Structure 1
């Protein structure tokens, strides 16, 4: 009889390497055993504060009884239904609850298994919409350079990052455009001009490609892999106007920003712009089951059945609208709507932002919207460091804090149930990691004084 080992994964026998990790195996890889609140424990008995909500998912923590009960009851009642012959009550109720949360004009929901699948469905739906209206040539999809939209081939094709080109050419018909944040970072466009210029460049791109060939533009309202780049005022409204002028569908990828993250149910409401399609996921089930959804306006839903509404969207997937996932999602949405979480998020967000700005000080710039935070970092030496974010995140992990770091940024996304005491603990550890990697505040001030002296 084989006994499962304990301790760090680096100490496990080599024959267990047959398991394919989500990320490359390293001595830092953890074997998680249990979770409670916003804390995780590994096989060695060490505790971690999760300031990333898993990966923007566990909004209600790791032991949310209402969701656990809902999934348990569903498991005992109906764990699966034949998807070719019908659906289940939890899926229907969840679809209605999501539509009720969404901005006015969103009338239907298609339940899927994850964010990548939601993006794929949105691409198909955009092309179906134009084909059904007699415009089969409108097939091109625009998306951002430096955005991220998933790991399936279609969604990866929309991801305009050089690190995905190792898989070879993406889908034909994808055209990448520059977001405002990249104009600011790469060409020193001032923030007060970047939104108008980026929107104008997108319109020029549509005109250059030919409006009769462009189906949709897919964008993250807040760009995760740019260190939570928040759009300039009026930028998204300008994009809405551009899309309307050229009969191009606007698709918001709200896999990260949706379901309360920005303070409102969806970033569409936070920024006051309603897209044609909303792709939502991650926190929608609280992390208790794989689940995402495509929310759409009536002008799109009408293509999906004889009498309109969310009737059919083949080809679909075996586990789409699965009863267990739908039960988790329905319990999560109900808790969000009835538990006073929008006000709680606003209060927690304001407190957390204040503390993050205090501990970051001159070592970075804090970007904040709701409970989404990005910090663009500066090194103590004042020189570019492409691994600065990774080094800060690693320093946090050694101290028992989970965040994400890459390039020159780190991001945090605390759970909705995080307490103010836990915020103090999170920001205290982050401050220690910044001291280690970016230099103490005194060191940063001395460096700035030296740079100013050189400039003089």
Structure 2
């Protein structure tokens, strides 16, 4: 396999286009896609080991979703959102509630993960205010968690690289997750969950329980290289939130819709939060779509018991008929294709292959079809090892994500065994290049 990067024939003038990430020689001009592969403007093919960015779980030419979106566009591409809704949105909400843990009874459809997180925070504050607790406004979140790119979601994102935008929203307090206690302070894994949960409780007490509205967290922390929590952490967090009447919000934008081996990580870890933010794979990548899944006790403040609920203000394209049709088709395919069986089978094959491949060159973290590897070159720690491995993969035609000293993979649910084997083969070459040969 060639490790040379082929520069795409970019238009002569790029000055009017603002790239999502800084433009570089590695930037790709994509032109087409099919199955689990993309093609750039030079004709080079790429195997997508990241499902776009945890999104294209059913691949790039999923006929049932394409058909549903096409039919909806031809029938009604938009409805006046101030005057009503559409059947696809109503049915999609019902199907999402059916997939969710028991106790979740309503779904608010939005356009993306950032909107979902901000809507959940507003819901938490509204819930407390409706019960006479107007002072419960503060929001706790993890250091090194990531929750979105809008101002409110950036404010609860506990990463130093977002401070370039200036101070975030007031009332946000960050707490240490178990993985950071292990990495930064040497706390053993078996002790880090209980200690991190205890530190959350101490923080709530120090801030004043009457001032804390919510705790928002990722069950698996993506930007820590898929940090999977100790088994006791989330149950203890649930207990702490219950003791202090704090709304527990799971940001499942990455982990939801089957990624961890269950419909939601809440079910994988056996802990039901008050609110779940879901997105990414929820539409299979065929339309911008996300949702807030709402616990019954919170939904009860939004309408009459057993009747329709409402939550405003909203966004112009929220519950858009085209996006809703894509989501409904994706949910139907998720169920009819037994996607969770595919996740289990592919997860076992990928995890087994990764363990054999690493051979002392990294530490594997896995939850379903989410994989994180902390990269450890034979020459010693390298804070850019993950970025280097990801770049080496890209030159060879494999898309993964790499940052700092970690890489993450998330193969599509429709990947074949041969695709997984190719992912492992290319990753092995990249590890050889960056870390040296396997021990």
User: Which bin holds the TM-score, normalised by the shorter protein?
Assistant: over 0.9
Alpha-carbon distance in structure 2 between the residues aligned to 1:409 and 1:196 = 25
Shift of 1:8: 6.6
| Contact persistence 2:9–2:41 (CA under 8 A) | no
The match for 1:176 among 174, 186, 202 is 174
Alpha-carbon distance in structure 2 between the residues aligned to 1:283 and 1:56 = 6
The match for 1:431 among 421, 428, 435 is 428
Alpha-carbon distance in structure 1 between the residues aligned to 2:53 and 2:64 = 21
Shift of 1:312: 1.9
Match of 1:394 in 2: 391
The match for 1:118 among 108, 116, 119 is 116
For each residue in 1:226-263, what CA deviation from the matched residue of structure 2 results, as whole angstroms up to 9, or x when unmatched? 00000001110000000000000100000000000001
Match of 2:102 in 1: 104
Please say if 1:241 is aligned against 2:239: yes
Shift of 1:430: 0.1
Match of 1:148 in 2: 146
Shift of 1:305: 2.6
Partner of 1:111: helix, strand, or coil?
strand
Shift of 1:369: 0.7
The worse-fitting range, judged by mean Cα deviation, of 122-131 and 12-21 is 12-21
Shift of 1:14: 4.3
| Contact persistence 1:8–1:30 (CA under 8 A) | no
Please say if 1:440 is aligned against 2:433: no
Query: 5 Å matches for 1:17-96?
Result: 17-96=15-94
| Contact persistence 2:10–2:29 (CA under 8 A) | no
| Contact persistence 1:374–1:409 (CA under 8 A) | yes
Alpha-carbon distance in structure 1 between the residues aligned to 2:77 and 2:316 = 13
Partner of 1:441: helix, strand, or coil?
coil
The match for 1:272 among 270, 273, 276 is 270
Match of 1:318 in 2: 316
Query: 5 Å matches for 1:256-405?
Result: 256-307=254-305, 311-382=309-380, 384-405=381-402
| Contact persistence 2:79–2:320 (CA under 8 A) | yes
Partner of 2:184: helix, strand, or coil?
helix
Alpha-carbon distance in structure 1 between the residues aligned to 2:179 and 2:157 = 16
| Contact persistence 2:8–2:29 (CA under 8 A) | no
Alpha-carbon distance in structure 2 between the residues aligned to 1:365 and 1:310 = 48
Identify if the C-alpha distance between structure 1 residues 207 and 279 changes in structure 2 by more than 3 Å, giving closer, same or farther: same
Alpha-carbon distance in structure 2 between the residues aligned to 1:12 and 1:403 = 23
Q: Give the TM-score of the pair, scaled to structure 1.
A: 0.94
Alpha-carbon distance in structure 2 between the residues aligned to 1:124 and 1:164 = 21
Match of 1:163 in 2: 161
Shift of 1:15: 2.0
For each residue in 1:200-245, what CA deviation from the matched residue of structure 2 results, as whole angstroms up to 9, or x when unmatched? 0000000000000000100000000000000001110000000000
Shift of 1:342: 1.0
Shift of 1:303: 2.0
Match of 1:188 in 2: 186
Superposition RMSD on alpha carbons, in Å?
A: 1.2
Match of 1:207 in 2: 205
Partner of 2:18: helix, strand, or coil?
coil
> Structure 2, unaligned stretches of length 5 or more?
none
| Contact persistence 2:8–2:40 (CA under 8 A) | no
Partner of 2:374: helix, strand, or coil?
strand
Query: 5 Å matches for 1:413-424?
Result: 413-424=410-421
Shift of 1:387: 1.0
For each residue in 1:60-82, what CA deviation from the matched residue of structure 2 results, as whole angstroms up to 9, or x when unmatched? 00010000000001111111100
Alpha-carbon distance in structure 1 between the residues aligned to 2:77 and 2:6 = 34
Runs of 4+ in 1 over 4 A off after TM superposition: 7-11, 306-310
The aligned length equals 435
> Structure 1, unaligned stretches of length 5 or more?
1-6, 443-456
Q: Give the TM-score of the pair, scaled to structure 2.
A: 0.97
| Contact persistence 2:65–2:329 (CA under 8 A) | yes
